[in-house]
Each structure stands twice: as C-alpha cells, then as structure tokens.
C-alpha cells in the first residue's frame, strides 16, 4: 500500500462507515460488492468504446469505490476469507486491464496512444506480478510510486477531464517505474541471494 493511500485510509474509513454499516445491514457481502464493482468497470469500459468518456469515468469511479469498500466491509464485520482476498486480487487485474483495452480499441488508429496503452498494460500487470512473485519467495515488496489506487485515480481523472493521452502516458511511465522499484527491492533483500 502506497504512502498516499496509507495516509488517507483512516479518513476514508471514517467517512464511509455509514455506507459500510448500511451494506452490512442489508446483507451485502464483501464478495458481492467486489463483483458489483467489476460490473461497473465493464459498463464504464463499454462507454469508453462508445466514446462517452465522462460517463465511462463515472462508472469506473463507482466500480473503484466498490473495490475500496469491500475490504473495509470485510475487516469491520470480520468477514475476511482467503477466497475473498483471492477474488479481490483477480477482480483487480480485470479492473486494471479492461478499461485500458477499451481505450486501445477506441484509439486503435493512434500509434502513440497504442504504444502508451501497451506500456500501461505491461506496467500494470508487472507491478502486480513482481509483488506477488516476491511474496511467494518470502520477500515483501510493497514499494513503488504507482500502485493500483494511483493508476485508477489517474485513469478516472483522465476520463473525466478528457486528457486521455496524458493520463495513459503517466500510467505507462510510472507503472513501469514501480515494477523496476520492486525488482530493485527484491534484489537488495538478503533472501534474494
């Protein structure tokens, strides 16, 4: 978890407690919330393909809010499970990839956008993979300038503002820098030798 997210997490949880309490009262499980978030991501990605970027940004924002609430709901009401953690990670990968694929399709005739989108996909995937692989080898590598929350924020902001090439460029550059930071983290760890 990035330093930015660590610093705003207590404020986020305080402000969203009424929502989480309501979801618990109406028997919405964390896993259901995770899946609903993915549905919003799919709908937002459909609107990207339709060229309706503002609407896409709104749906992808709601999908990410569901993703941010599911973990808090699970922790607060002691509903954390290994299946929930696994499902959340899998859905996160889909939520990373699907909107970028939709953008690639929408701007398929723009070579620069295609290159930035491709680098964004690679960086997003490798950021997650390097952490998971390091942890499977017993090394914690939760470092990096652009983890999933930051990538999501930049994507949503670029959709809402219309500055898509800049947003996808930022994700392309900084997600790959994050991958490099994690490789260096693993390399420097005593267990890696």
- The domain segmentation of the chain, as residue ranges, is 3-192
Please write the tens of the pLDDT for every residue from 148-193: 999 999 999 999 999 999 999 999 999 999 999 999 999 998 877 7
CA dist 102 → 18, 65, 76, 92, 187 (Å): 34, 20, 35, 16, 35
Tell me if 150 sits within 8 A of 4, measured CB to CB. yes
pTM of the model: 0.90
Per-residue pLDDT of the chain (193 residues; tens, 9 = 90+): 566 677 787 888 888 889 999 999 999 999 999 999 999 999 999 999 999 999 999 999 999 999 989 989 999 999 999 999 999 999 999 999 999 999 999 999 999 999 999 999 999 999 999 999 999 999 998 899 999 999 999 999 999 999 999 999 999 999 999 999 999 999 998 877 7
Percent of residues in the chain assigned helix, strand, coil, to nearest 5: 85, 0, 15
SS3 52: coil
- Residues catalogued as catalytic: 92
For 75-113, b where at least 16 C-beta lie within 10 A, e where not — what string? ebeeeeeeebeebbeebbeebbbbbbebbbebbeeeeeb
Give helix 148-161 / helix 82-106 axis angle, nearest 10°: 40
Cβ-based neighbour number of residue 66 at 10 Å: 25
- CATH class, domain 3-192, is mainly alpha
- What is d(CA 193, CA 187) in angstroms, rounded to the nearest whole number? 8
Rounded Cα distance between 193 and 176, Å, is 24
Per-residue confidence (pLDDT) for residue 91, from 0 to 100 = 95
């Amino acid at each position: 978890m990035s330093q930015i997210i660590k610093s705003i997490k207590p404020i986020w949880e305080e402000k969203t407690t009424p929502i989480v309490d309501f979801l618990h009262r109406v028997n919405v499980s964390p896993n259901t919330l995770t899946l609903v978030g993915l549905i919003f991501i799919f709908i937002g990605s459909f609107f990207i393909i339709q060229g309706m970027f503002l609407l896409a940004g709104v749906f992808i924002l709601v999908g990410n809010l569901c993703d941010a609430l599911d973990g808090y709901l699970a922790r607060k009401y002691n509903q954390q499970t290994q299946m929930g953690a696994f499902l959340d990670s899998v859905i996160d990968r889909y939520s990373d990839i699907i909107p970028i694929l939709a953008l690639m399709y929408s701007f398929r005739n723009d070579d620069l956008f295609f290159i930035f989108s491709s680098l964004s996909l690679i960086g997003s995937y490798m950021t997650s993979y390097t952490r998971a692989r390091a942890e499977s080898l017993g090394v914690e590598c939760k470092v990096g300038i652009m983890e999933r929350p930051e990538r999501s924020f930049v994507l949503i902001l670029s959709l809402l503002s219309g500055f898509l090439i800049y947003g996808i460029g930022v994700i392309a550059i900084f997600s790959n820098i994050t991958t490099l930071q994690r490789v260096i983290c693993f390399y420097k760890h005593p267990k890696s030798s």
